[in-house]
């Protein structure tokens, strides 16, 4: 019979971690803070969702993104509106830059979430995006009246949209994205002139122009990671899982020693019995229980437990203790008093899978 022992707790931990890594299929090997960053630019058009006949305006922006997992990313977005005319309100700026916005967005990769991460970006992916931000509108005049003075407007805003991403090249270092989105501007019921409330031609719909749709086209570059690739995340291999386990447990898994054991050698304990155990087991067999039943009730005994030398030293020590505990529990249930318990582990090459029960 071939004996091939390891620390069973360590083996169990390795299997559990490997199973979780493969099931998630979306772990990052050795992620560092400066890994998983991307920088992009975008440009497009926007228009009111309230009345589609208002003129379209141009928008342009820059995006800085940090990948947290293959599913979750965090994005910082700076965007400006140009020559928006009546896109937000019936007031428009004589400047080229009509409004400026800053958003903090959370992005969810729907393909990796529902389809699982395969270790690399897909050629085509869809991401959901949403976040909160701050917008400033520049109004040096309103209603196209150069003699009228206006006030700049500051508002909180929310942004929701989708990214349709096309990842290009062998390493998927570049991404071209089509990004439709909706922006909702916060509204104060106490704003002053109707012109600042989105009212057309003297009408007064206070919430008229506070929802805007936009479509942009973006180009993004994914910086190289500490792994030397543009692919932000790598699947954990069994070797990497083992390294993590070895750092987690008290010491690395010891080398397995293979040894053929032909027969169990026991010693004569005189006034007592010898209880033998199966390889790597601590449960009592029927034969072992029959021997323990020969000990009279109310007797007092001492236990000495051992293990064979194939496994790691620390594991053998715990295994011999478990064997002693099994014998002790059985004897106490029969009314036998256990005065002392000694777990010896493996003592030398001749040590065996035994608990000696000595009657005092």
Query: What is the pLDDT at residue 56?
Result: 64
pTM of the predicted protein model = 0.52
Query: What is the pLDDT at residue 300?
Result: 92
Query: What is the pLDDT at residue 31?
Result: 64
Query: What is the pLDDT at residue 3?
Result: 36
Please list, in sequence order, all residues whose beta carbon lies within 8 angstroms of the beta carbon of residue 129, skipping any fewer than 6 positions away: 75, 105, 106, 107, 108, 159, 160, 161, 162, 163, 179, 181
Q: What pLDDT digit, counting tens, does each position of 221-278 carry?
A: 999 887 777 766 665 444 444 555 555 544 444 444 444 443 444 455 567 899 999 8
Q: What pLDDT digit, counting tens, does each position of 14-61 carry?
A: 555 544 444 443 444 446 788 889 999 999 988 877 665 555 678 999
Give the residue ranges of the chain where pLDDT is below 50: 1-8, 18-30, 86-90, 142-149, 189-208, 236-241, 249-266
User: Which of 321, 306, 319 has the alpha carbon at shortest distance from 352?
Assistant: 306
Query: What is the pLDDT at residue 16?
Result: 52
Q: Is 217 helix (H, G, I), strand (E, B) or coil?
A: strand
Paired with 273 in beta bridges are 357
Residues of the chain with CATH 2.40.160.20: 26-234
CA distance 66 to 74: 5
Hey, what are 256's tokens? 């397995």
Write the CATH number of the domain with boundaries 26-234: 2.40.160.20
Burial 240-275 (b: 16+ CB within 10 A, else e): bbbeebeeeeeeebeeeeeeeeeeeeeeeeeebbbb
Residues of the chain with CATH 3.30.1330.60: 261-359
Write the CATH number of the domain with boundaries 261-359: 3.30.1330.60
């Amino acid at each position: 019979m071939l004996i091939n022992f390891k620390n069973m707790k360590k083996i169990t931990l390795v299997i559990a971690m490997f199973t979780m890594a493969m099931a998630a299929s979306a772990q990052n090997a050795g992620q560092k803070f400066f890994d998983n960053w991307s920088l992009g630019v975008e440009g497009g058009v926007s228009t009111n969702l309230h009345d589609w006949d208002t003129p379209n305006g141009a928008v342009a922006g820059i995006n800085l993104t940090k990948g947290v997992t293959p599913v979750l990313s965090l994005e910082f977005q700076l965007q400006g509106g140009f020559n928006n005319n009546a896109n937000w309100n019936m007031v428009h700026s004589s400047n080229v830059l009509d409004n400026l916005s800053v958003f903090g967005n959370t992005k969810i990769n729907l393909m990796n979430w529902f389809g699982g991460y395969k270790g690399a970006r897909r050629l085509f992916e869809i991401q959901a995006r949403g976040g909160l931000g701050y917008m400033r509108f520049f109004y040096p005049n309103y209603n196209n009246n150069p003699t009228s003075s206006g006030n700049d407007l500051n508002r909180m805003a929310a942004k929701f949209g989708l990214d349709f991403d096309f990842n290009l090249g062998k390493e998927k270092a570049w991404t071209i994205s089509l990004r439709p989105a909706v922006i909702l501007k916060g509204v104060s019921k106490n704003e002053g002139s109707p012109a600042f409330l989105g009212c057309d031609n003297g009408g007064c719909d206070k919430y008229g122009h506070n929802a805007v749709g936009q479509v942009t086209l973006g180009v993004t570059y994914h910086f190289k990671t500490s792994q030397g690739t543009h692919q932000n995340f790598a699947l954990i291999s069994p070797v990497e899982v083992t390294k993590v386990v070895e750092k987690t447990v008290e010491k690395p898994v010891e080398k397995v020693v293979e040894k053929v054991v032909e027969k169990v050698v026991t010693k004569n304990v005189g006034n007592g019995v010898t209880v033998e155990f199966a390889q790597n087991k601590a449960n009592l067999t029927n034969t072992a229980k029959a021997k323990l039943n020969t000990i009279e009730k109310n007797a007092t005994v001492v236990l000495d437990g051992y293990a064979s030398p194939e496994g790691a030293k620390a594991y053998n020590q715990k295994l011999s203790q478990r064997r002693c505990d099994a014998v002790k529990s059985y004897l106490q249930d029969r009314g036998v008093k256990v005065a002392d318990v000694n777990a010896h582990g493996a003592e030398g090459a001749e040590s065996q899978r035994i608990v000696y029960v000595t009657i005092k």
